[in-house]
Amino acid sequence: MKCGDKNSIHIAARMMIGTVKALGAGRFCILVPIPGHEGRANYTRELCEEIGLLTGIRTADVLRGKHHLPLYQAKRNDMKAEGIRIDFRLICPIPKGVTPIIVDNVLDTGHTAWAAIKALGDPDTRLAVLGNTRHYTLNKEVNFAQMNIENMKNQKFNPEEVKQVKTAQSKSRTASGKKTATQNKSTAKASAKRKAKNDSLAAQYAELKEKHPDSILLFRQGDSYKAVNADASTVGNLLNLPVTRPEDKRGGDLLATFPCQALDTYLPKLVREGMRVAIVEEAGKQLKSSDEGHKKGTEENTEDKGKKESRAPQLVTLNGQKVTHAHAFQSTKNPGTWYFTARLDGRQLHPIMMKPADAKAYQNRDYTIDRFMRTYYPTKMEKKVTPEQYKADMILSDGRHIEKMNVFKERNENREDFGKYKLFAKIAGQENGMAVVMKTEDLNAFFDRVTTPAKLVEKNFGERLNLASAYEKYKLPEGIPIDDIRITKDKDGEWKISAKIGDTGRTEKVPLNKSDRYSFFESHTVTREQLAAKYLSPDIQKTLSQKKEEQQAGLKI
Amino acid sequence: MSERTYDELVQLHQSGKITWLQLVEQSEDKDDFIQWCKDHNVKPDDNYAELYLEQTEEEMSFSQGNWDSYEKLQGQ
């Protein structure tokens, strides 16, 4: 697993759901990701958050450590793992009554896990791992005898989920060997054209699966929908349908079928299981719901020719809602202005003004419904959080509890933000709450329930609350040497930050605000580099621009 | 109480005779609004009724295909 590798992390998370639920049964738990060798959790944090989405258990990234040699490197160099000192510290105490579940991908020698357990200091700490080599049993320094460890070996899982899924890109690389990326694309296209001439279900499946590896493909044939091969196995398991082996291999190796009228029942079930579903019309017609481009307006395909039938959806969202009537229209008052709109489960969505480039793409028929829906109605396309998950997610990443959160409209006419929707939050231990004007994206996310109270509070008040997560967005630009970052107290008693940028010398000293001072000196939830990125960006950008100009001047000479 | 149309309810609210909460409770979206409040763990009140109507009202009024008047509401 790597940070950002969403596919692997999603698969790992699904494999660990049973483990985590078993450990947390009957308890109020939080997931604690194990820090990596850099001293902070990276992919383990993403893994925890993904598990959290599936189980409703919140993640608390409360462990920090010092940078150390990665244990896998130590092993490669024949160094003993116990020779690598691993110490973690707890940056925020776990509330009483909350059971921490440490999460890691592999339990090997146990050094890292033991350091995490010691730092948490809770005798009820549990450990959830994906794999367990059992080498820790030979480690005399750790005592896991009393520990609750659950791993995948104790859980049953579907081998289909374990199978490494190659992306379409990697598949084409494998197939074409040393060809360049451009050649790969044209090869894949040419190959797809040849396959398209073959109408067999197996051939269609192979062609479309390459383009949509993450989607369950349902093929409409006559009065039924069919899933093929791996999709048939998944659909059969989830919907309790029989899976057969067609005699004719052109129909695939495995097949699961259900009648058309059952789509309204089965489709939401698949979506609730976290599946992305694409419906493929009769052979020869275009994919109705996918990321594939619609070269002709889909309106034409679904146009009612005198018969009163419900329209087949152009797209089905992750929440099982059907998108129909998606189209753009020109303003009669300002012909240069275009609006996009659609119906969601028959309900009209309010039109949104389009960007000129998108309006042009629509007119050139070079667009996809999926792309426009994600651009103009992003929160309708995201997966909703269940009401249970929403109500449960009241704990911040540092373990603090949200006492109260609400959204309200400012009624005080004397205020500048009169009439605007604001987010109010009060955290346990705070005397007074905090309020901030909400951005439209946050208000929509709140209304459509694709976010949770903890996420909203972290996003809007993160720095004020000294949360590490709030500072993650601050990163120094690459390609320019920035060092000797100093945080010093000035003659006037103010703490200020400055840095040396390349050969240009030191920046001006910029004062730190109260929250950031606390984050740096007290809670240790921000690094010098992050503060430099936050405060010194104008100077850094200026230096970068100057450098570029100098380089260009040098080239001209 | 006889059933009123949505437009009538809006007029009553604009004349100050009913609140946002009373408006939505007398509309066909009452059940949907109550469910929305339950799902968001909030009590139905005037504040959330107004938010709910603002988010959904434009959708309702444009089901009749009244696109041009929408431009007046667009603050973009």
Amino acid A518: pLDDT: 93
Closest residue in A to B35 (Cα–Cα): A387
Based on the fold, state whether residues A338 and A374 are members of the same structural domain: yes
Those residues with Cβ within 8 angstroms of residue A454's Cβ, 6 or more apart along the chain or in another chain: A58, A393, A394, A395, A396, A397, A402
Task: Please give the residue range of the domain that contains residue A98.
Answer: 6-162
Q: What number is the average pLDDT over the span A335-357?
A: 87
Chain A residue with minimum CA distance to B38 = A387
Interface of A with B (CB under 8 A): 329, 331-334, 337, 339, 341, 347-351, 353, 387, 390-391, 406-409, 421, 444, 446-447, 449
A283 versus A237: the higher-pLDDT residue is A237
The verdict on residue A549 lying in a domain is: yes
* Nearest CB neighbour to B68, from listed A332, A341, A347: A332
Q: Which of A74-78, A202-206, A273-277, A374-378 has the highest mean pLDDT?
A: A374-378
pLDDT higher at A408 or B75: A408
Query: A217 and A342 in one domain?
Result: yes
How far A373 CA lies from chain B's nearest CA (Å)?
16
Question: B54 versus A145: which is more confidently predicted?
Answer: B54
Is there a single domain that holds both residue A460 and residue A506?
Answer: no
Residues A345 and A261 in one domain: yes
Best of B37, B71, B72 to substitute, by most chain A Cβ atoms within 10 angstroms, is B71
Query: In whole angstroms, what is the distance from residue A434 CA to residue A423 CA?
Result: 8
Whether residue A190 is contained in a domain is answered as no
The type of residue at A396 is: L
Q: Is the pLDDT of residue A321 over 80?
A: yes
- Strand A29-33 versus strand A58-59 pairing type: parallel
Residue A161's pLDDT is 39
Contact criterion met (CB < 8 Å) for B67 and A339: yes
Residue A545 lies in a domain: yes
Judge: A348–B59 Cβ closer than 8 Å, yes or no: yes
A332: which chain B residues are within 8 Å (Cβ-Cβ)? 68
pLDDT class of A272 with cuts at 50, 70, 90: low
Considering the domain architecture, whether residues A424 and A353 belong to the same structural domain is answered as no
Q: Which residues of A touch B59 (CB under 8 A)?
A: 347-350
Mean pLDDT of A353-379: 90
Is A212 found in the same domain as A355?
Answer: yes
Q: What is the pLDDT of residues B4-15, one digit of tens each?
A: 888 888 888 889
Residue with tokens 């100057």: A546
Is residue A418's pLDDT more than 50?
Answer: yes
CB pairs under 8 A between A and B: 53
Contact A406 B42 (CB under 8 A): yes
Quick check: A297 pLDDT over 70? no
Nearest to B68 among A333, A347, A446 (CB): A333
> How far away is chain A from the Cα of B60, in angstroms, using its nearest Cα?
7
Chain B residues whose C-beta sits inside 8 Å of any chain A C-beta: 38-42, 47-48, 50-52, 55, 58-60, 62-63, 67-68, 70-71, 74, 76
Most A CBs within 10 A among B28, B39, B58, B60, hence the mutation to make, goes to: B39
Contact A407 B51 (CB under 8 A): yes
Residues in chain B: 76
Q: Which of A153-162, A231-240, A251-260 has the lowest mean pLDDT?
A: A153-162
Whether residue B62 and residue A350 make contact (CB cut-off 8 A), yes or no, is yes
DSSP A153: G
How crowded is residue A52: how many other Cβ atoms within 10 Å of its Cβ? 22
Same domain? For A100 and A240 the reply is no
Residues A365 and A464 in one domain: no
Statement to judge: residues A461 and A552 lie in one domain: no
- Per-chain mean pLDDT for chain A: 78
Residue A341 lies in a domain: yes
Among chain B residues, the shortest Cα distance to A391 is held by: B41
CB contact under 8 A, B40 and A339: no
Q: What angle do CA A512, A514, A518 make, to 5 degrees?
A: 100
Domain co-membership, A144 together with A206: no
The complex's ipTM?
Answer: 0.83
| CATH number of the structural domain spanning residue A219 | 3.40.1170.10
Could you tell me if residue A476 is inside a domain? no
Q: Is A474 contained in some domain?
A: no
Average pLDDT value for residue range A322-334: 85
Minimum mean pLDDT among A34-38, A173-177, A215-219: which range? Answer: A173-177
DSSP-derived 3-state class of residue A255: strand
> B68 pairs with which residues across the strands?
none
Q: Is the domain of A455 the same as that of A493? A: no
Selected residue of B35, B47, B66 to mutate for chain A interface (largest A Cβ count, 10 A): B47
Closest-CA residue in chain A for B33? A447
Strand partners, A401: A395
Longest dimension (CA), chain A: 86
In A, which residues are within 8 Å of B70 by CB distance? 339, 350-351
Residues A398 and A368 in one domain: no
**Residues A511 and A499: beta-carbon distance below 8 Å:** no
Domain boundary, last residue among A380, A407, A425:
A380
Nearest to A533 by CA among A471, A450, A490: A471
User: Is residue A93 predicted with pLDDT exceeding 60?
Assistant: yes
pTM of the prediction?
A: 0.52
Instruction: Choose from A138-152, A263-277, A289-303 the range with maximum mean pLDDT.
Output: A263-277
Q: Which runs of consecutive H residues, i.e. helices, occur in chain B?
A: 6-14, 20-25, 30-39, 46-61, 67-73
Taking contacts as CB-CB distances below 8 angstroms, the residues of chain A near B52 are: 447
- Please tell me the total count of domains within chain A: 4
